[in-house]
Structure 1
Amino acid sequence: MIHSLIQILVFQVLFLAVYEFFLKKETFFNLNRIYLLLTPILGTALPFISVDFIQKSIPKEYMVQLPAVVVGDTISEAIPNATSFWLPSLLDLWLLGIALSAVIFFWKIFRITKIYLSGNTAYFDGLKLKILPKTDTAFSFFNTIYLGENISEEKRSSIVAHEKIHIQQKHTLDLLFFEILRIIFWFNPLIYVFQNRMATLHEFIADEKLTAENDKKQYYQNLLSEVFQTEKISFINTFFNQSLIKKRISMLQKSKSRKAAQLKYLLLLPAICAMLIYTACSNEPKTEATQTVQQSDSEVMNKINELAEAIMKKGEMTPEEEKALKLLTTEAQPGDKVYTSVQEYLNETEGEGDMSVAFSEIERVPTYPGCSGDNETLKKCFTERISAFVGENFNTKLGKDLGLPGRQRIVVQFKIDKSGNIVDVKAKAPKPELEAEALRIIEKLPQMQPGEQKGEKVGVLYSLPIVFEVQ
């Protein structure tokens, strides 16, 4: 996830760099408008796009994986009722940011509505105007132009003509598009930069169309004569913005860009290709993994169908076959032993004299010292006491010392025999050191009161999963 966010930021920076160094000073305003609308979406989508032929053509030695960031290590037991502290995840923080950004957006809408209701409605040249009392404000939002009543009559016509172009070009939709992106990707500062560039481009478009029909010299004088107040709302088109006047005049003085300069937009193609290649190098091929999972699921279903047909043909099953089928169809529960094969299960449970029963099926579970009550209470107490015992005695620094990345799982299996002793302890872990540590802890467990099945003391099989997570 972090890797994808870094890729999004890098790709959007590259798209902005292309705009800043090659396209911003060109007078292809409509093409630049399309570029600024398209590239934030491309930068967000490209990290999640994988092209099969690119991945297959890249040698494996060029595949890279972003290393995990280690911020600490914890040990937790995957046992019911274990106590844990809630920590906000990345998803929680993202949703909280979206909620706050949405509140800010609707506050801006409220301000616009308040301004709209405070003005007097008028019409000029077929356009709806809102005359605002005691202000020099001038801006447009959707199909309405907002004018302060302090603006002189001779200035109003040029302002209305300018804002009319914003309305015709539907510039408000562009800015609202970036407002939506700002809500979803509130943590991404580049979205704000894209929106700022788009607002500037809108002014260039309006200036160009207006000066095509009017005298440029007079238009320059209008720009320099007054600087009107503006509402600080990010999705309205303001008439005069002091920080933009110099840029607008400079752009008006530029000669029309030659058509050959449009070839600069082809820079987008190699940039996208480079990003796709980088994405292919930095991620494991997804197509093959998906095919493997689908193929595996298909094989399992075929085996199930074959088994069903065999049972129906035979009609009756032997006790051993019924026992094996029960193992396959019984949902695993905490404390169940993990068998590597059906035959292992049959071999271990055959013979009544030395029968071992799974912890989840025993009529009366083994009793941990200090526990009392009915079977369910004893079972709960047993798991809680073992969880606490492991948590207190396990070497929590071992995961970090071994340099293990991410989550590591240890499965410990043992038997509580007829005398209540812990025997046949086995551990399976990615590192021998983890296995040794798990065995050391389990062998220190106190003697239990043995479990009972049908009134007789029996051995009880117990499985204890331990999860290491190096964060």
Structure 2
Amino acid sequence: MVQYIIQIIAFQVFFLLVYDVFLKRETFFNWNRFYLIGTSVLSLILPFVKVTAFKELVPKDYIVTLPEVFIGNKTVSNAEIVLPEVEITKQAFSWNLETLFYLGVVIASLLFVFKIVHILLLIYKNPKRWKGNVLLVELINSTSAFSFFHYVFLGANLKEEEQKVIIKHELVHVTQKHTLDLLFFEIQRIVFWFNPLVYMYQTRIRSLHEFIADQEALKTQNKSDYYQNLLSQVFDTQNVSFVNAFFKKSLIKKRIIMLSKSKSKQIVKFKYALLIPVVFGILVYTSSNAQENINKTETQELTFEQLVEKYYQEFLDMKAEGIANYHEAKRERKDKYVLSRDEHAKSNAYIKYSYKSIMLNPNPNKEKINKEFVLYREKVIKNLKNYKEYLAWKKTDEAKEIWENNIENGVLRLVVDDLDNLTSEEKNKYNKKKELLSKDVFFTQLMMTDVNGRRIFAYFNPNEFSSANKTDDTKAALINNPSVNVGFDVVEQPPMFEGCETLSREEQRKCTSEAITKHILKNFSTDLAGDLGLTGRQKIATVFKIDKEGNIIDVKVRAPHPRLEEEAKRVIKSLPKMIPGKQKGETVVVPYSLPIIFQVADSTDKKLAQQESIMIDEVEVPFYVIEQPPMSKDCETLASIEEQRKCTSDAITKHILENFSADLAGDLGLTGRQTIRVMFKINKEGDIEGVVARAPHPRLEEEAKRVIKSLPKMIPGKQKGKTVVVPYSLPIIFEVADKTDDKPSNNKIKHEEVPNKNQDIEVPYSHIEQPPMSKECKMLNSAEEQRKCTSQAVQKHVAKNFNTNLAGDLGLLGRQTIITMFKIDEKGRIVNIKARAPHPKLEEEAIRVIKSLPKMIPGKQKGKRVVVPFSLPIVFEVKESPNAIISYLTTENSNSKKDVEKQDSKEVPLVALDESPIYPGCNVTSSSDKLKECFKNSLANFISKEFGKNLPKNIDSELEPRQKILAMFKIDKTGYIESIRVRAKHPELEKEAIRVLKALPKMTPGKHKGVTVIVPYSVPIMYELGEKKN
């Protein structure tokens, strides 16, 4: 609404400017009358007019958003990033623009009614007589004269000769219906009471009415007598804005001037053609992006049901127009826990659309399936929630579980009620997901959100996250993944520095971004913010353009202090000349935005930073991700890092069990399950420091601190060859028997779950000492091997027995996930099976398959049989064909035949590998970094050369101009390619990618610490139309 009003005012300014400058002084009064009325109407309707052809005339200003440059000491851990919470609070009633608008409308309406009543009273109280089609109203004791519709009001004190002249004048107003013009603007004054231009329009139209009437009256009267009549009157008119008054002091002079003016020449009428370019320019504006803002505002004014119907009609229109990728219209941000009102409406509309599509276009070959799908969809549609119900549902456990289980692209998920106050259950989930994140290279991030979706906490896998290099003690650059807008994707050839041109397009963007960041860090005066007395986080927003010659132009800066703005401009302008960007083969101007962030610490901040060990020259690396973990001296002789890590963890646990007073909790009167959370650090000398404990009782906290502080000195941890501080967290759990129990007290303490022997015991599969196992795994030596063997046996059973055609038969497409949970009891039987899937039939099938698992050897903890819970996600990838492709994901990372055969195989990513796999022809160098670079380049060249040869000739018509294929594979211990996984928007692209990767030559396998290992690798393949090989 505000956007609409602003446009009306802007358009009226242009129209009135043309009138006052070019047309006002001309004697074409009727033309001017139609101009004022017409342009007033145009200003009201033009904001709604959108001409598609004009939209293309407006150039798009594609802006590249660079990653922020961070200057100063970043006081947040590089592994955890917290985005600020947006709080929405209900406020008491307060004056706002909408309230003020309606109040003005009410007051203006009351004034209008008052004027109408005043005129009606004049008609009612004064004598009247008809003269032709005009009703003359004689105003007693008055010299006023004016008209309103067919009423002509004449003062009784006017002379008879004057009355005759006035009647002729007012008859012109009546016959030409001038009152309608004034009422039109009077209504506008009510609605747009705040718009001064409406008042200006009404003033000008009133003047024109008098000029027109004077011009007509002079045809039957002497001009000098008419002048005398105007000048000799007592100016006593009625103050009503929508009547035509004969005697109005402010108009007398203008009327005499216009009467004395000679008639304008006909050639002057060409001035009215000025309206054409003005209207054309306005149409170009309204047809461009400004129109989109109005449409967005309009959707906010619709009810939720109207919004759903609007999007449903759009889906139908897209289908009718034959738009192949209409599925894109229903895409929603899957990383968002709570969708916006608009996004939820679009989702509901698509569900309704897909249901109607099946009803209108049933598959005659699958009548039974169609009926089941229709019944299922009818149930879904009946349960569709409006936005208020949707927000309430999002706070339920069901909604949380569905979102958390939808894992994509290696991002784990967790929904909590309050990020600042996690429950014990939420903490347990968080710790388990963090542990999985650190151990499994497949998972790269943990995303947390509250139930309102207003705050996100992202925990990155430290193996994947790299801090920026520090240039000195006072400078650091934090290079995040840039927030990319449309321009970054659209500009085909981005501007770049010399030296970056030999890289791929994505690498060119990254190279240029890093070069700009490096330039700013090197040249920006880091002491300036401190000298200006600024402290804390200071942000400088910079916008600039790289012109067609590669020069920096149009630098604009906004900062908390003018000196910072000047410094930022100086540094940006000093950027070296670049190679200009190109679009469709032509050099173009490319706008960039670059946030520069200062972190200026005052003395208090520095003390706090020292107390919390968050310092620039001291790095903390979590225990489960550090390259060389701190260890007990007894563990030093072990061969592998994992063995040393496990040995140290077991040594700490053993120390606690031996030294903690197990009777303390009972002495304090505590019963049942008691948890103590302990956090401490192993410093660079191997000593224990920074011990913090939280427990149900202060005495338990003291005891926990005492025991942890008594840990023996350790060999410190190392990261990249340097000793570092290593944080460690440890839950100590008590199970205290009730003293009223007849059985003897048997309090137990453990750093993980410790069951009460008086109740059914359950121990998670990943923590149990002796896991339940398939009978074929009994002969294996270690518990870890038995665990892997059993997990693989369960997977093999599911893959063999699951009906892989079911999902396709149900009409489901794309990635489908079934979450199954069950328990293996003390007798090895499968019990308590639960399943959740996108369709009830899939849930039934999953339960059937799990129930058919053979009886196992039960698990044991401390020599006793226990119940072991087990979870198994079953993931379908269903293509357009009815046959579904099933893959299974478990808590163990093994899902291929070769993994089953090589249970002791170790996987090391290329970035962490000591000796890279050697691509044929790359063995001319012995440098590890050069071998890796040669491997990457050779692989990229092979794929670029081979990809597209076997694609169908007509596939280009089915694809967007640019397609991205994500490919993952492993190089096994013999140098062959295995475990190929591919994801693309078209099955033919996936098929082609698999073919190319299978054709890769055998390589020399990679090694880590002298041992041959499996090397997982992922590579994005960018395919553009026209790149197929013949």
Distance 1:133 1:47, change over 3 A: same
Helix, strand or coil at the partner of 2:17: helix
In the alignment, does 2:395 pair up with 1:335? Answer: yes
Matching residue within 158, 178, 181 for 1:174 = 181
Deviating more after overlay: 224-233 vs 323-332: 323-332
Q: Is the 8 A contact 1:199 1:237 kept in 2?
A: yes
Counterpart position of 1:436: 457
Matching residue within 263, 280, 304 for 2:355 = 304
Deviating more after overlay: 90-99 vs 53-62: 90-99
Counterpart position of 2:162: 155
Counterpart position of 1:427: 448
Counterpart position of 1:135: 142
Q: Is the 8 A contact 2:50 2:291 kept in 1?
A: no
Distance 1:273 1:340, change over 3 A: farther
Q: Is the 8 A contact 1:12 1:39 kept in 2?
A: yes
Q: Deviations over 1:342-373 (max 9, x none)?
A: 99479xxxxxxxxxxxx9xxxxxxxxxxxxxx
> TM-score scaled to structure 1, two decimals?
0.65
* Greater RCO (Cα-Cα under 8 Å, separation 6 or more): 1
Counterpart position of 1:257: 264
Structure 1 residue 136: Cα displacement: 1.6
Structure 1 residue 184: Cα displacement: 1.5
Q: Is the 8 A contact 1:122 1:129 kept in 2?
A: yes
Distance 1:322 1:150, change over 3 A: closer
Q: Is the 8 A contact 2:141 2:156 kept in 1?
A: yes
Counterpart position of 1:238: 245
One-letter amino acid of the structure 1 residue matched with residue 229 of structure 2: N
What is the alpha-carbon distance in structure 1 between the residues aligned to residue 377 and residue 38 of structure 2? 59
Matching residue within 264, 268, 284 for 1:277 = 284
Structure 1 residue 428: Cα displacement: 5.0
Q: Deviations over 1:250-305 (max 9, x none)?
A: 11111111111111110000011111222334426599998976534786556325
What is the alpha-carbon distance in structure 2 between the residues aligned to residue 173 and residue 132 of structure 1? 23
What is the alpha-carbon distance in structure 1 between the residues aligned to residue 277 and residue 58 of structure 2? 17
Distance 1:288 1:192, change over 3 A: closer
What is the alpha-carbon distance in structure 1 between the residues aligned to residue 85 and residue 163 of structure 2? 68
What is the alpha-carbon distance in structure 1 between the residues aligned to residue 370 and residue 85 of structure 2? 52
Distance 1:203 1:62, change over 3 A: farther
Q: Is the 8 A contact 1:166 1:237 kept in 2?
A: yes
What is the alpha-carbon distance in structure 1 between the residues aligned to residue 13 and residue 279 of structure 2? 13
One-letter amino acid of the structure 1 residue matched with residue 448 of structure 2: A
Helix, strand or coil at the partner of 1:50: coil
What is the alpha-carbon distance in structure 1 between the residues aligned to residue 120 and residue 160 of structure 2? 25
Paired residues in the alignment total 366
What is the alpha-carbon distance in structure 2 between the residues aligned to residue 60 and residue 164 of structure 1? 56
Highest Rg: 1 or 2? 2
Q: Is the 8 A contact 1:8 1:44 kept in 2?
A: yes
Distance 1:307 1:261, change over 3 A: closer
Distance 1:109 1:335, change over 3 A: same
Counterpart position of 2:273: 266
Counterpart position of 1:51: 51
1:351-390 pair list within 5 angstroms:
none
Q: Is the 8 A contact 2:179 2:242 kept in 1?
A: yes
Counterpart position of 1:191: 198
What is the alpha-carbon distance in structure 2 between the residues aligned to residue 11 and residue 202 of structure 1? 24
What is the alpha-carbon distance in structure 2 between the residues aligned to residue 234 and residue 60 of structure 1? 46
CA-atom RMSD, angstroms?
A: 4.6
Counterpart position of 1:355: none
Matching residue within 314, 321, 325 for 2:369 = 314
Distance 1:149 1:437, change over 3 A: farther
Q: Percent identity?
A: 35
Q: Deviations over 1:4-49 (max 9, x none)?
A: 3222212101100111111111111111111111111211222232
Structure 1 residue 209: Cα displacement: 0.4
Helix, strand or coil at the partner of 1:235: coil
Matching residue within 104, 117, 124 for 1:117 = 124
Distance 1:75 1:251, change over 3 A: same
In the alignment, does 2:208 pair up with 1:208? Answer: no
Structure 1 residue 223: Cα displacement: 1.2
Structure 1 residue 212: Cα displacement: 1.5
Deviating more after overlay: 287-296 vs 97-106: 287-296
> TM-score scaled to structure 2, two decimals?
0.32
Q: Is the 8 A contact 1:12 1:190 kept in 2?
A: yes
* Structure 2 residue ranges without an equivalent (≥5): 64-83, 297-310, 319-328, 331-348, 385-389, 408-414, 434-445, 460-694, 697-1030
Distance 1:156 1:437, change over 3 A: farther
1:412-423 pair list within 5 angstroms:
417=425, 423=430
Structure 1 residue 334: Cα displacement: 4.2
One-letter amino acid of the structure 1 residue matched with residue 164 of structure 2: S
Structure 1 residue 229: Cα displacement: 0.6
Deviating more after overlay: 304-313 vs 194-203: 304-313
What is the alpha-carbon distance in structure 1 between the residues aligned to residue 110 and residue 123 of structure 2? 20
Q: Is the 8 A contact 2:143 2:157 kept in 1?
A: yes
One-letter amino acid of the structure 1 residue matched with residue 354 of structure 2: K
Helix, strand or coil at the partner of 1:122: strand
One-letter amino acid of the structure 1 residue matched with residue 22 of structure 2: F
Helix, strand or coil at the partner of 1:436: strand
What is the alpha-carbon distance in structure 1 between the residues aligned to residue 375 and residue 406 of structure 2? 13
What is the alpha-carbon distance in structure 2 between the residues aligned to residue 85 and residue 343 of structure 1? 37
What is the alpha-carbon distance in structure 1 between the residues aligned to residue 85 and residue 236 of structure 2? 57
What is the alpha-carbon distance in structure 2 between the residues aligned to residue 202 and residue 315 of structure 1? 72
Structure 1 residue 170: Cα displacement: 0.9
One-letter amino acid of the structure 2 residue matched with residue 17 of structure 1: L
Structure 1 residue 188: Cα displacement: 1.0
What is the alpha-carbon distance in structure 2 between the residues aligned to residue 170 and residue 40 of structure 1? 18
Structure 1 residue 108: Cα displacement: 0.6
One-letter amino acid of the structure 2 residue matched with residue 427 of structure 1: M
In the alignment, does 2:22 pair up with 1:22? Answer: yes
Task: Point out the structure with the larger strand share.
Answer: 2
Q: Is the 8 A contact 1:138 1:228 kept in 2?
A: no
One-letter amino acid of the structure 2 residue matched with residue 31 of structure 1: W
Helix, strand or coil at the partner of 1:145: strand
